[in-house]
Amino acid sequence: MRVQPVFLALAVFVSCSSEKAQEIAEPKEDRSARKKVEELVRPGVKGGNSGAYFRLTNTLEKADTVLSINTAAAAMAEAHEMYENEEGMAAMRHKPNLIIPAGEALIFKPGGLHVMLMDLQRNLQQGDTVRLHIKLAQRGDVMKPIPVEIDN
Ligand SMILES: [Cu+2]
């Protein structure tokens, strides 16, 4: 007579906790999926620099070329790549006229290809959005809104 209520309570507890585990598992997957996209602009201060990280897909059936990048958030925006200089130090250089092969994507990510935002025209903080205006030789002008976020 005393054993049964205890068993029942335990069964309820077990089913509750397994349901909870599922609920937690789903947003976790979402978060890692969002992380894979890695679309962000790093926070920065007016007059300083920042970097934009995102994916730029060429959906056309022919190669396209990035002609220029502009944003109201910065006096100048340029595609840069990281490389190792003769002294073995990490450095970066401007990569003009980036070509995107047909159906492929350029991936701008920390430590690699990135869009450098120079001389920020305003403070960039979490919750803001930076709109990049990208001029492509084939597709024309595209606007890419990118959230300001801290990358971990
Ligand atoms: Cu750079």
Together in a domain, 89 and 115: yes
Q: How far is the CA of 64 from the centre of ligand 1 (A)?
A: 22
Together in a domain, 112 and 94: yes
Q: How far is the CA of 95 from the centre of ligand 1 (A)?
A: 10
Closest CA to 62 of 143, 135, 140, 139: 139
Q: What share of the chain is helix, strand, coil (3-state, %, to 5)?
A: 25, 40, 35
Residue 58 near residue 104, CB atoms below 8 Å: yes
Q: 101 by DSSP, 3-state: which?
A: coil
Q: How far is the CA of 78 from the centre of ligand 1 (A)?
A: 8
Q: How far is the CA of 52 from the centre of ligand 1 (A)?
A: 9
Residue 15 contacts by C-beta under 8 Å, 6 or more apart in sequence? none
116-152 tens-digit pLDDT:
999 999 999 999 999 999 999 999 999 999 999 998 7
Together in a domain, 19 and 85: no
Together in a domain, 55 and 113: yes
Together in a domain, 46 and 32: no
- How many angstroms separate the CA atoms of 145 and 2, rounded? 63
The reported pLDDT for the residue numbered 7 is 47
Q: How far is the CA of 60 from the centre of ligand 1 (A)?
A: 28
Q: Domain range for residue 5?
A: 1-37
The reported pLDDT for the residue numbered 38 is 80
Q: How far is the CA of 50 from the centre of ligand 1 (A)?
A: 8
Together in a domain, 75 and 122: yes
Question: Two tokens at 92?
Answer: 């970066």
Radius of gyration of the chain (CA): 23
The reported pLDDT for the residue numbered 94 is 96
Together in a domain, 7 and 69: no
Q: How far is the CA of 43 from the centre of ligand 1 (A)?
A: 15
100 lies in a domain?
A: yes
Residues of the chain where predicted confidence (pLDDT) is lower than 50: 3, 6-34, 37
152 lies in a domain?
A: no
106 lies in a domain?
A: yes
Total-model pTM = 0.74
- Specify the number of domains making up the chain: 2
User: Which CATH number fits the domain that encloses residue 107?
Assistant: 2.60.40.1890
How much of the chain, in percent, has pLDDT values that exceed 70? 76
